[in-house]
Structure 1
């Protein structure tokens, strides 16, 4: 379970390492373009029930911390889906990975 630490205060946001690796690519792309946006997610089962949203801005410090030392193989489709949501009025919605299944 990785974390996002955003700004100077507040609690770390806990996100599965694989999801965080994909999210990092989408967030870094938006911030590199100097674009602000929101990030929303549903709380984990071991957290207080509900959902959260934060406003991401290029001038606010952001740190990604991963438990696993190796970067997972990235799913380009998942990154595209995250980027598509990032460009919407609702901002990035942390969605589950959709794996392509081969058709027989």
Structure 2
């Protein structure tokens, strides 16, 4: 059951990152394809998140969802949109990772 919950959490994270990417591509809600993608992405993210919350604690789920979603969204920005990271941004990502690890080992 716990493995299933974590798989659902991964699905929620990936759906949220997809929705955020589609938000960027929508160009301010001017392109219908990406707008449909962001609605589907965010809808799926919240659906999977709600299923995850049936088995895992709210604080842990939200920290994982928002933290890993942030890290993956930054990666997508760098990879596809040529966003740049400075040392402070890299340090912030490292702190997110450390915080997520600590939350998982302390549960």
Same-fold status (TM-score > 0.5): no
Q: Which of the five TM-score ranges fits, normalised by the shorter chain?
A: 0.3 to 0.5
Q: Which has the higher contact order (CA 8 A, sep 6+)?
A: 1
Structure (1 or 2) with the larger CA radius of gyration: 2
Give the number of the structure whose residues are more often strand, by fraction. Answer: 1
**TM-score for the superposition, normalised by structure 2:** 0.38
